[in-house]
Structure formats: structure tokens, C-alpha cells
Amino acid sequence: MKANKLALAALVLWVLTVAIFAWFFVRGNTTTGTDGRTAIVLQAAERDLVLSEMRGLLSATQSVLEGVNKADMQQVAKAARAAGMAGAADVNPALMAKLPLDFKSLGMSVHHAMDDIAIAAETGKPAPEILKMASDTLTKCVACHSAWQLKASN
């Protein structure tokens, strides 16, 4: 009887722990931003890392567009591949837990889209198709920057 109560208590604690983790995984560490967007609260180094990744995506996008303009599909593929999922593979799990699910989903969709652009360039898709893919990807960037801001915690 005592073992059953102990097992039940352990199960309840486990479920509670999983539920709390799931809530934080979905919500992240957020607050209301100063301009109406949702502010994601990160340590300064984490904020710098996320912003650096965003600058890398922007730089890769510029290189993709330049490559399409020069009809250099190798440049397009190389730039897009560098910003694809391989570039997002080594993110710290503690940082990922602080990011809201919608932010993570949008960010991962951008990395996947860059991989798709690389594949399109490697398989000889026409420039207008690659430009459409890049435009669709930038739409995701605009949506993210419209909804979120990154705030450094004290």
C-alpha cells in the first residue's frame, strides 16, 4: 500500500514536471515589449548570439540575391546552404527553452527555406523561382521582426 502511494506521488511529480517544462517550452521567457511586440527575455550573451544568427541570415540572403543577379547558382547554393539547418544545429538547449514555440517554429522554417533555396539552385531551377523562394523567406523574417523583440535581462 505504501509503495503504491509512493509510486503515485512519483508519477504525479513527473507529470507536473513535464507539464511545467512543456508550458515554458511553448511560452518561453517573454514579457510585453515596449512597442507592443512580445519581448523575449534573454541573457546579454544569448541575445547577442540570436542577433548574430539573424545577421548571418540577412547576409546569406543578400549573397543569394547577388548570386541570382550574376546567374551564379554555385554562390546561391553556397550562401543558402550556410544559412540552412546546418547553421542551426548547435543551438544551446537552455537558450531554445527560453524562446517561445512560435518564434522557434518561424526561425526553423527560415532555415529549412534556405536549404530549399540551396537545393533549387543546385538542381538548376530558374532565377524567378529562386527569387520567389527568397521573397517568401523574407516574408517570414518580416513577420518575426514585427512580432518579437529581444530584450537583455539585467
73-112 pLDDT tens trace: 999 999 999 999 987 767 788 888 899 999 999 999 999 9
Query: d(Cα 143, Cα 153) in Å, to the nearest integer?
Result: 24
> What type of residue is 8?
L
Going along the chain from its start, the domains and CATH numbers come out as 29-152 (1.20.120)
Q: Which of 82-87's residues contact partners 24+ apart within 8 Å by CB, and which partners?
A: 82/56, 83/56, 83/57, 83/110, 83/111, 83/114, 84/111, 84/112, 84/114, 84/115, 84/118, 85/111, 85/112, 85/115, 87/53, 87/56, 87/111
The four Cα atoms 118, 122, 127, 133 give a dihedral, to 10 degrees, of -30
112-150: pLDDT as tens digits: 999 999 999 999 999 999 999 999 999 999 999 999 999
Say yes or no to pLDDT of 20 above 70: no
27-77: pLDDT as tens digits: 568 999 999 999 999 999 999 999 999 999 999 999 999 999 999 999 999
Query: d(Cα 100, Cα 88) in Å, to the nearest integer?
Result: 16
Q: What pLDDT score does 87 carry? A: 77
Say yes or no to pLDDT of 21 above 80: no
- Write down the pTM of the prediction: 0.81
